């Protein structure tokens, strides 16, 4: 994976995150407007069942069940305090190359962690199924 491909870095920019909020259920008279969501690092990742799912492009934390008064930045910090993007002290455009590379390294750690956890979950589910089959077979059931 090329950490510095255009696809990999485009969500660092507010405008690109904001574009994902088409169809976002909260617009006016809310704290969780598309602008505030994008500012807090979120991209809109709706599903058929949940139109208000948003995920941090950086730490990959998904949040749903938004209320109009929810503050996206506070929610992000409380649910993912180790996210380096939400704790940035400067704008992405002001980062030095060295700071950006360090940030990309941290983002990669989140991706590896999430991928690893998903793989472990799939393995554990497969083990449960296989164990049930073995027990069933050993008891003479087919």
Q: What is the pLDDT of residues 66-108, one digit of tens each?
A: 999 999 999 999 999 999 999 988 888 899 999 999 999 999 9
Q: Are strands 42-44 and 62-63 parallel, antiparallel or unpaired?
A: unpaired
Asked if residue 2 has pLDDT above 70, the reply is no
Q: In what order do the strands lie in the sheet with 42-44?
A: 42-44, 54-56, 62-63
Architecture of domain 6-138: Orthogonal Bundle (1.10)
Q: How confident is the model at residue 57 (pLDDT cuts 50, 70, 90)?
A: very high
Mean pLDDT of the chain: 91
The neighbour count for residue 28, using CB atoms within 10 Å, is: 6
Q: DSSP H helical segments within 1-142, as ranges?
A: 6-9, 14-19, 34-39, 72-79, 97-138
Strand partners, 42: 56
54 and 44 in contact (C-beta within 8 Å)?
Answer: yes
Q: What is the pLDDT of residues 20-37, one digit of tens each?
A: 999 898 888 899 999 999
Which residue do the tokens 């069942």 mark?
49
pLDDT at 9: 87
- Every domain of the chain and the residues it spans: 6-138
pLDDT at 5: 66
DSSP label at residue 31: S
Q: How confident is the model at residue 3 (pLDDT cuts 50, 70, 90)?
A: low
Closest CA to 54 of 28, 98, 18, 12: 18
Token pair in block for residue 128: 């449960």
Asked if residue 141 has pLDDT above 70, the reply is no
Helix (H/G/I), strand (E/B), else coil: 44? strand
DSSP label at residue 5: S
């Amino acid at each position: 994976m090329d950490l510095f491909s255009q696809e990999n870095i485009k969500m660092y920019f507010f405008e690109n995150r904001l574009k994902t909020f088409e169809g976002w259920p909260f617009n006016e008279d809310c704290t969780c407007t598309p602008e505030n969501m994008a500012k807090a690092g979120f991209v809109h990742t709706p599903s058929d069942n949940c139109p208000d799912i948003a995920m941090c492009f950086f730490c990959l934390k998904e949040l749903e069940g938004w209320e109009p008064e929810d503050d996206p930045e506070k929610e992000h910090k409380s649910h993912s305090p180790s996210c380096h993007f939400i704790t940035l002290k400067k704008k992405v455009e002001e980062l030095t190359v060295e700071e950006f590379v360090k940030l990309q390294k941290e983002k990669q750690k989140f991706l590896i962690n999430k991928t690893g956890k998903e793989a472990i979950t799939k393995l554990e589910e497969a083990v449960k199924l296989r164990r049930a089959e073995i027990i069933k077979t050993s008891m003479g059931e087919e």
